[in-house]
Amino acid sequence: MTLIELDDVRRTFTVRTKAGRFRREKREVRAVDGLSFTVAAGECVGYIGPNGAGKSTTIKMLTGILVPTGGRLRVAGIDPARERVALARRIGVVFGQRTTLWWDLPLRDSYELARRLYRIPDHRYRANLERCIELLDLGGLLDTPVRQLSLGQRMRGDLAAALLHDPQVLYLDEPTIGLDVVSKGRVREFLREVNRDQGTTVLLTTHDLTDIEQLCGRVMVIDHGRVVHDGGLEGLHAAADSERTLVVDLAEAGPPITVVGARVVKVEGPRQWLAFPAQQSAAPIVAEVAARYPLVDLSVREPAIEDVIARMYAEVAIG
Ligand SMILES: Nc1ncnc2c1ncn2[C@@H]1O[C@H](COP(=O)(O)OP(=O)(O)OP(=O)(O)O)[C@@H](O)[C@H]1O
């Protein structure tokens, strides 16, 4: 079943820019420039792209906040801009950089307000709240005013608030931004559960490719308001010939190490950076480093989305 449907959707903004001392010029920005795609019920789709690509504009149109200037858009059969109230019952939205919770109220009160606003039946509200409290470990936080929560705690609180009314679709805009490694892991685990066990359709915008790798079977890359890749993350890495980085901390400083399948790109004292093809598993490289060198610590870093896209264009130009 198709849940999200875009057919040649466009959104332009007219901006006035300074042209000379007194003159101002009108300029049209095509934030979304002919988007066509569908998302089936139950999918978890990564929606990524460089800054200014048109991601937020798309999400705003999907929630009905912005009206498209052209094309056709439907979410659960609803035209978002025309039927915002009907749509609100079917969607949940989480913005990593803003909260939908009431700043001065305890979490519990924000949830109670959501219950009334969405007229959530008692049994559904109780079941959903209990599930969220357990999975997001919110038990000890319910009576804390939101302004006193850490960023990670607040994000967990926001996720629960977005799901209390059983939305069919969840839009997430940078849900792991600014979180530490442990909080990121917890948020991702929760989202996996929501998508897999509850069947909630997820559209995820992020700058962290680990989010995509761990959650999304499909990734759409948008640039200049158009889709430039739609498929698996592997396919994206293959198209871009992208590389991941293994950062190793050795017991002491030394010359660049030699490992099959990876090359040292930077050395700083005992720390060395090794690049290897992103589609390849890090496991054999880690095993070889660990077997041959005195290893203290290591981590794997995903390539930056901007780099992947730049390399994708470079490949197209060469290819
Ligand atoms: N209200 C607005 N008025 C004028 N231009 C806008 C407006 N909103 C967005 N734009 C422009 O539209 C383009 C797409 O912006 P959008 O915020 O959708 O990008 P994004 O992919 O979400 O970027 P980011 O990753 O930085 O959040 C940009 O050039 C932006 O400057």
pLDDT of 18 reads 81
Q: Is residue 9 pLDDT above 90, yes or no?
A: yes
Q: Tell me: the pLDDT tens digits for 282-308?
A: 999 999 999 999 999 999 998 888 888
* Residue from 57, 206, 228 whose mutation best tests the ligand 1 pocket (most atoms within 8 A of CB): 57
Predicted pLDDT of residue 319: 52
Report the pLDDT value the prediction gives residue 91, as an integer from 0 to 100. Answer: 96
CB of 51 sitting under 6 A from ligand 1: yes
Q: How confident is the model at residue 238 (pLDDT cuts 50, 70, 90)?
A: confident
Residue 34 vs residues 10, 71, 74, 104: alpha-carbon distances, Å: 5, 8, 15, 42
- What residue has token string 């006193």? 148
Distance 14 CA to ligand 1 centre (A): 12
Q: What is the pLDDT of residue 54?
A: 94
- Of 256, 286, 287, the closest CA to residue 272 belongs to 256
CA angle centred on 39, ends 181 and 201, rounded to 5°:
50
Q: Would you say the ipTM is above 0.85?
A: yes
Question: 90 in helix, strand or coil?
Answer: coil
**30 and 225 in contact (C-beta within 8 Å)?**
yes
pLDDT tens column, 116-147: 999 999 999 999 999 999 999 999 999 999 99
Please give the distance of CA 316 from its chain centroid, rounded to a whole number.
Answer: 26
Q: Closest by alpha carbon to 94, among 15, 50, 160?
A: 160
Residue 318, pLDDT above cutoff 60:
no
Residue 294, CA atoms < 13 Å, CB-side half-sphere: 5
Query: Which comes out higher in pLDDT, residue 258 or 279?
Result: 258
Atom 16 (ligand 1) nearest CA: 54
> Is 52 close to ligand 1, i.e. is its CB under 6 Å away?
yes
196 pLDDT exceeds 80? yes
Distance CA 248, CA 194 (A): 34
| Residues 244 and 301 sit within 8 Å (Cβ to Cβ) | yes
Q: What is the pLDDT of residue 69?
A: 97
CA atoms of 160 and 88, how far apart (whole Å):
16
Residue 317 has pLDDT above 70, yes or no: no
> If you take atom 31 of ligand 1, which residue's CA is the nearest one?
52
Predicted confidence band at 100 (pLDDT cuts at 50, 70, 90)?
confident
Quote the distance between the C-alpha of residue 258 and its chain's center: 35
Write down the pTM of the prediction.
Answer: 0.86
Pairing state between β 169-173 and 91-95:
parallel
The whole-angstrom separation of Cα 135 and Cα 139 is 10
Look at ligand 1, atom 18, and give the residue with the nearest C-alpha: 54
Q: Which residues are paired to 303 by β-bridges? A: none
Confidence of residue 189 (pLDDT cuts 50, 70, 90): very high
Whether ligand 1 lies within 6 angstroms of the CB of 280 is answered as no
The H-assigned helical ranges of the chain are: 55-63, 84-88, 107-117, 122-136, 151-163, 181-197, 209-215, 233-240, 283-292, 305-318
- Among candidate residues 37, 96, 35, the one with its CA nearest the CA of residue 68: 35
Mutate to test the pocket of ligand 1, among 16, 29, 65, 66 (most ligand atoms within 8 A of CB): 29
Q: What percent of the chain has pLDDT over 70?
A: 98
Which single residue is written with the structure tokens 């926001």? 158
pLDDT score, position 21: 80
Q: Which CATH superfamily is domain 2-238 in?
A: P-loop containing nucleotide triphosphate hydrolases (3.40.50.300)
CA–CA dist 7, 221 (Å, integer): 17
Does the Cβ of 53 fall within 6 Å of ligand 1? yes
Q: Of the candidates 247, 288, 303, which has an alpha carbon nearest to the alpha carbon of residue 271?
A: 247
Measured distance CA(253)–CA(269) in Å, rounded: 5
pLDDT of residue 315: 67
pLDDT at position 256 is: 95
Query: In the predicted model, what is the mean pLDDT of residues 43-52?
Result: 93
Q: Please state, rounded to an integer, the average pLDDT across all residues of the chain.
A: 92
For ligand 1, whether the C-beta of 306 sits within 6 Å is no
Q: What CA–CA distance (Å, rounded) separates 302 from 292?
A: 24
Residue 221, strand partner residues = 48, 229
Domain residue extents for the chain: 2-238, 243-302
Distance, in Å, from the CA atom of 21 to the CA atom of 233, rounded to the nearest integer, reads 48
